[in-house]
Amino acid sequence: MASEANTDRIHGVLGEFEHAGGLLRAARGVHEAGYKIFDAHSPFAIHGMDKAMGLGQSVLGYFVFGGAALGCYLGYFMQYWMGEVDYPINISGKPFFAIEPSIPIIFELTILFAVLTAVFGMFVLNKLPTPYNPLFYSKRFARVTDDGFFLHIESRDARFDKEASAALLRDLGAVNVEIIEDLGSREELESDGG
Amino acid sequence: MSTEQGKAELAVDTPYSGDGYVEEPLVHGNLSFHDVTRLIAGHVEKKPPRAWYPVFFLALGALSIFGLMIGHLFWNGTGVWGNNSPVGWGFPIVNFVFWVGIGHAGTLISAILFLFRQRWRTGINRSAEAMTLFAVVCALSFPTIHVGRVWVIYWSLPIPNQMLMWPQFKSPLLWDVFAVSIYGLVSLLFWYVGLIPDWATMRDRAKTKVRQRVFGALALGWTGANRHWRHYERSYLILAALATPLVLSVHSVVSFDFAVSIVPGWHTTIFPPYFVAGAIFSGFAMVLTLMVLARSVYKLQNIITISHLEKMNIIILLTGSMVGFAYTTEFFIAWYSGVEYELFAFINRATGPYAWAYWTMFSCNVFAPQIFWFKKMRRSVPVMFTIAIFVNIGMWFERFVIVTTSLHRDYLPSSWDYFSPTWVDLLTLLGSFGLFFTLFLLFIRFVPMVAIAEVKGVMPQANPHFYDAESTQAVSTESPNAES
């Protein structure tokens, strides 16, 4: 497969490593070699990997703060508008709107909106769902959710070179290196008549 | 790695070695990553153990009784229940509070223990979260059917209706609608986020087209990429940080249903913390009940180890004692307040016609768990199973005592009465267990019941520095597996 690779179709090179420590070292090496578009794939999150890959902290927290603020405001405004403006109704002479009895619902809506942002914000940042990924063509890559540790350098990277990048991964201790080709998703294949 | 071997290692029960305190490994039996995957994912892929079928059909039978009773109720109205003046809140509210309390353990385990870096939670958090979801489903069904005219239940939500009126936000019952339904939704999302890496594991192991499609869709294209893990871990941490105040607020809000009223026996400021402690207590007992059975039927003793169970027993002991402290404080405050109605409500609780229920509650919840002061008892599976059942019974009776004894003798002795449930009440309670167990059994049949990725993450081999010192040994632990 690799030998007859059509260069237009090359998605990247995939190196397999023996364990989490090997992958961490390799990620550091690839980062130090100046690569930008690469990723480490592992069955669980590895401590220190963000630093090794030169990644900062996730920005998700800021979005969540925005979501929480929106939920808080909505909880307040909804109760104010419904109780005080749209349909004021006198119940045992209590105020139409007061902050004290409104706190539980403001609180719950704050949490709800923050949680929705935390979950769907994570999906957006991770571009999930992504049903098609050329990596799925690799038979060995299926082990990534079991006990496989992989490092993938994408061909989109400016420094990418089929031979040199593969050699780098081998130097960093990869036990197996393969070229990943982007053969297209099943739907595309079928519409091409093959 | 055979399970027999794992069992043999379990028999050697000396986790604390040397002179100092050495933390016991969270996963026993020297399992490799692949062993963990196979052990957990395998149960979803093969036929369930023989014991699963009779239990499932039993649960399904109880669930059909639930359906029949609800149909009977809708057709005839709430008069089929024992609820009547002066006890207007009978079994439905008792059952609601009971189930929503049970639904607290999952989020406690997944969120609070996560924030406290209690890594042992990984063995049990998945099933505890699932149990939470199903308990919340059971809980929500009771107020829904309790309203009488269930076809206008949407009036309790801020949805425009034909009366052009809005819900009454000053009512604690409405706070409850928001708190419990949001809690259910948040628990579902938390659970699903935790499941994504495991769905991907199932997808990559799938042998049939249907499985590939279904698990593939659920996994959302997860590839274990570190750029994904980065946001994922952050998201999980934030979810835990948000779920923690949420879980504490939910049972506080449930307690407001009582505490905000002016009924003697309900109108106490101790209710929110007391309810939360009770909720955690009952939830852990239910998790323990289910886990003790599941780990032995599914041979997961190496992942849900006896030490996991011991830690849960310590929490049961702690929260049980907190609940006992609350019972006593209530009594003291009733006397100290000098309000004779308040004092009467409590003396009536302990010595009145429902004394049998009060003392059942007290012995099951306060006395029974004290046995866990002894380490041998904490680590004995039959003992903890018995105590967990006692706690489940005791916590149901706690809610029964709070609801019934406070209402059945009100200010006017001429309206005093003795509440008794009808057969519909009893069968509906039984039926809700059917709903709960049906959902739980479907869960252990079709969903990885232990968080595979998280368990791997707490194994020593997961630490990248594990390989620095003993790289040769590390390679041998990860023996190449002959099978697939």
Full DSSP string of B311-350 = HHHHHHHHHHHHHHHHHHHHHHHHHHH--HHHHHHHHHHH
Helix ranges restricted to H, B206-354:
209-219, 226-259, 271-297, 306-337, 340-351
Q: Tell me, what's the pLDDT at B424?
A: 96
pLDDT, tens digit, 9 for 90 and up, residues B14-55: 444 444 555 677 888 888 899 999 989 988 888 999 989 999
In a domain, B5, yes or no: no
Task: Name the token pair of B197.
Answer: 């890496």
In a domain, B6, yes or no: no
Task: Name the token pair of A176.
Answer: 């197996």
pLDDT at A9 over 90: no
Domain map of chain A by residue range? Answer: 8-57+134-191, 60-125
Q: How many residues does chain A have?
A: 194
In a domain, B3, yes or no: no
Mean pLDDT (chain A) is 89
Distances (CA, A) of B354 to B278, B314, B394: 20, 31, 14
**Is the distance from CB of A42 to CB of A149 less than 8 angstroms?**
yes
Q: How confident is the model at residue A91 (pLDDT cuts 50, 70, 90)?
A: confident
Q: Tell me, what's the pLDDT at B472?
A: 45
Q: What is the mean pLDDT of residues A94-98?
A: 93
Task: Name the token pair of B237.
Answer: 């941490």
Full residue range of the structural domain in which residue B365 is found: 15-477
Please indicate whether, in this complex, the C-beta atoms of B462 and A107 are within 8 angstroms of each other: no
Q: Which residues contact B440 (CB under 8 A, 6 or more apart)?
A: B130, B131, B134, B290
In a domain, B2, yes or no: no
CA distance A22 to chain B (A): 8
Put simply, whether A46 touches B (Cβ < 8 Å) is yes
Q: How many residues does chain B have?
A: 484
Q: Tell me, what's the pLDDT at B102?
A: 93
Q: Tell me, what's the pLDDT at B108?
A: 81
- Closest CB to B235: pick one of A22, A104, A119: A119
Number of folded domains that form chain B: 1
Mutate to test the interface with A, among B174, B212, B223 (most CBs of A within 10 A): B223
Residues of chain B whose pLDDT is less than 50? 1-19, 471-484
Q: Tell me, what's the pLDDT at B242?
A: 94
Counting one residue from chain A and one from chain B, the pairs whose CB atoms sit within 8 A come to 217
| B262 vs B257: CA distance, rounded Å | 11
CA distance A152 to chain B (A): 9
- Closest CB to A144: pick one of B186, B223, B466: B223
ipTM over 0.85: yes
Q: What is the pTM of this model?
A: 0.89
Q: How confident is the model at residue A7 (pLDDT cuts 50, 70, 90)?
A: low
Q: Which residue of A has its CA nearest to B218?
A: A129
Mutate to test the interface with B, among A64, A138, A147 (most CBs of B within 10 A): A147
Q: Tell me, what's the pLDDT at B183?
A: 95
Put simply, whether A131 touches B (Cβ < 8 Å) is yes
In a domain, B7, yes or no: no
| B247 vs B108: CA distance, rounded Å | 7
B-contacting residues of A 158-187, CB under 8 Å?
A: none
- Closest CB to B464: pick one of A24, A83, A133: A24
Q: Tell me, what's the pLDDT at B9?
A: 42
| B223 vs B232: CA distance, rounded Å | 12
Mutate to test the interface with B, among A145, A150, A186 (most CBs of B within 10 A): A145
CA distance B375 to chain A (A): 34
